[in-house]
């Protein structure tokens, strides 16, 4: 329908360098926190042997960190920067002493040697190579004896170290937040308290401040190297957490429990503002307006008669305003006066009214003629260039290529033009593995007649299509369904799915669903909660029609939940 305003999250071009770099590596931080190791650590039931191994790996890592600080301090030509780096080195020495306490408390075999893992070696080698001036892509470092070149090496070294400090502070703070500060009986209380402490947060900020000062005189090309080093460090940190040998049962990733011989993983997603950044109806309207004849332009007799661009823009504006006003009125009308107990049937009855409204609105669009004369090639090209939510296509592509995963991927959309969606997914190399279920514009010789083949117009249509797809999938296998959506139109499918995930922050969805007794819970805290209650006997404890929906801000969380890192 007419455009809903997309909430577009963009990395600020202003602000401190470290904050900008951290924001660009958001994906790695999310994948890290969802690793089996971190989820089990947060839940407090991480196997003690796994934690001991981690502590010993971390000791090797911190020794390399201390050496990198030494090399960076030698290279810094500013006395203040040199002093700050030495102060940060003292923090590492203190952290190593803390690790000695960890070893004594959790490891009865003090002195036992643990082999250094390949992931630990990769990070320490990368860090020490950077601190020694061996930096891929860095020009002019053949002679690092000059003060100017040495300062650049100090900056590069801090660029490779800073993300580690920030990531640890982030992870521990997230843990403390979801545990609501109640760490009294948490097995790993000291670890969480240390890395979420004010002192550690301040050390991370101090490191970022030093990086900012060291980078003040760098060129754009040199700042690009800093960004590459920062990103590489984040990837190595993620690999470090992924490599921890977690042998216990975990709730993540979901495919760990997947048996392709017995189960089919069914992935469903809405399209507009779930996969995309803007609503497709706005794109189609813009194509129509741009390609419409000018008021004084004579139209050929053999073409479908079209409104002028001015009339079309005015008509579209009026349709959009009417839709928005009547949509809100409909939501208010079907909403209970107070919050009621969750009953799926009652919600279905209420949404039948919304479904009737959506169908009337589509008829109004057809009768107005705003879709007449659209050229198929224009639509195809627009689909190829649609801006997709970060990580969306990556997720679908990754799971479609995963070996030993029996998966079906389906897009259920109100979009007027299935060809637009197909073009979009085709540009991402995903069309052969993704099934599109949407309305279709009627074309005659590649030009739209303005009519629609109506397939998915409403919440009721969506949930009927959802059930039909599940019913028609392999009868000899059990379905495990995941639905991702962002609006009221997705509500019934979200609730029917074994895992219903809401992306974004639609106020009308939350307002209506909450009144009908639906709960919205952030995904990560719930994953930790499920990990706490996990036993060796239980399999997945996700189920549909529970009245609980899980909220995320990015597709990276969905990727982390289903596929892991």
Query: 3-state DSSP call for residue 440?
Result: strand
Give 234-248 as a 3 state SS string. HHHHHHHHHCCCCCC
Which residues have a catalytic role annotated?
A: 164, 237
Q: Which of 465, 454, 456, 459 is nearest to 334 (CA)?
A: 459
DSSP letters spanning 354-386: HHHHHHHHHHHHHHHTTTEEEEHHHHHHHHHTP
452 forms bridges with which residues in the sheet?
A: 441
Q: How far is CA 77 from CA 73, 83, 149, 397, 546, in A?
A: 8, 11, 10, 48, 61
Contact in structure between 33 and 171 (CB atoms under 8 Å): yes
CA distances from 534 to 102, 197, 253 (A): 26, 29, 14
CA distances from 478 to 68, 507, 561 (A): 53, 34, 20
Secondary structure letter of residue 479 according to DSSP? E
- Determine the Cα–Cα distance for residues 346 and 326; give it in Å rounded to an integer: 22
Closest by CA to 358, choosing from 275, 449, 270, 460, is 460
DSSP 501-545: EEES--HHHHHHHHHTT-EEEEHHHHHHHHHHT--SS------TT
Handedness of CA 517, 518, 524, 528 (dihedral sign): positive
As a 3-state breakdown, the chain gives helix, strand, coil percent values, each rounded to 5, of 55, 10, 35
How far apart (Å, rounded) are the C-alpha atoms in residues 205 and 88?
Answer: 11
Task: Identify the DSSP state of 158.
Answer: H
Residue 483: DSSP 8-state: E
């Amino acid at each position: 329908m007419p455009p809903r305003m997309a909430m577009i999250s963009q990395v600020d071009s202003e602000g401190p360098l470290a904050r900008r770099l951290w924001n660009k590596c958001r994906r790695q931080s999310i994948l890290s926190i969802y690793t089996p190791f971190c989820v089990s650590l947060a839940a407090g039931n991480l196997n003690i042997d796994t934690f001991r191994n981690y502590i010993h790996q971390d000791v090797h890592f911190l020794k390399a960190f201390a050496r990198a600080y030494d090399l960076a301090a030698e290279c810094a030509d500013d006395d203040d920067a040199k002093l700050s780096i030495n102060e940060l080195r003292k923090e590492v020495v203190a952290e190593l002493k803390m690790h000695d306490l960890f070893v004594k408390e959790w490891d009865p075999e003090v002195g036992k040697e643990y082999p250094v893992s390949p992931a630990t070696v990769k990070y320490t080698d990368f860090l020490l190579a950077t601190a020694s001036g061996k930096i891929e892509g860095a020009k002019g470092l053949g002679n690092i004896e000059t003060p100017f070149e040495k300062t650049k090496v100090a900056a590069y070294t801090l660029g490779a170290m800073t993300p580690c400090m920030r990531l640890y502070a982030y992870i521990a703070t997230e843990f403390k937040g979801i545990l609501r500060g109640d760490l009294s009986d948490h097995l790993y209380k000291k670890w969480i308290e240390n890395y979420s402490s004010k002192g550690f947060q301040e050390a991370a900020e101090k490191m970022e401040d030093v990086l900012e000062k060291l980078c003040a005189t760098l060129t754009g090309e040199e700042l690009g190297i800093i960004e590459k080093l920062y990103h590489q460090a984040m990837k190595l940190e993620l690999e470090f957490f992924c490599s921890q040998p977690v042998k216990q049962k975990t709730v993540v990733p979901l495919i760990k429990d997947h048996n392709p011989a017995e189960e089919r993983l069914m992935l469903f997603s809405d399209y507009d503002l779930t996969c995309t950044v803007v609503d497709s109806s706005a794109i189609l309207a813009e194509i129509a307006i741009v390609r419409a004849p000018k008021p004084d332009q004579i139209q050929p007799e053999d073409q479908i008669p079209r409104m002028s661009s001015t009339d079309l823009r005015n008509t579209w504006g009026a349709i959009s305003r009417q839709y928005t006003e009547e949509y809100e009125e409909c939501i208010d009308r079907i909403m209970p006066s107070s919050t009621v107990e969750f009953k799926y049937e009652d919600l279905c009855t209420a949404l039948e009214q919304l479904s009737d409204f959506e169908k009337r609105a589509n008829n109004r669009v057809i009768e107005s003629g705003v879709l007449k004369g659209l050229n198929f090639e224009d639509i195809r090209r627009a689909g190829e260039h649609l801006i997709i939510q970060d990580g969306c296509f990556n997720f679908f592509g990754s799971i479609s290529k995963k070996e030993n995963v029996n998966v079906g991927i389906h897009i259920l959309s109100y979009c007027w033009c299935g060809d637009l969606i197909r073009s979009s997914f085709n540009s991402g190399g995903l069309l052969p593995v993704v099934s599109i279920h949407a309305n279709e514009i009627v074309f005659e010789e590649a030009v739209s007649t303005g009519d629609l083949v109506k397939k998915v117009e409403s919440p009721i249509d969506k949930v009927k299509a959802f059930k039909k797809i599940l019913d028609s999938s392999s009868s000899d296998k059990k379905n495990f369904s995941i639905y991702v959506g962002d609006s009221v139109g997705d509500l019934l499918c979200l609730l029917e799915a074994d895992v219903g995930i809401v992306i974004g922050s639609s106020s009308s969805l939350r307002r209506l669903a909450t009144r009908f007794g639906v709960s919205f819970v952030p995904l990560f805290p719930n994953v930790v909660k499920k990990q706490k209650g996990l036993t060796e006997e239980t399999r997945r404890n996700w189920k549909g029609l529970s009245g609980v929906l899980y909220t995320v801000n990015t597709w990276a969380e969905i990727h982390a939940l289903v596929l892991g890192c």
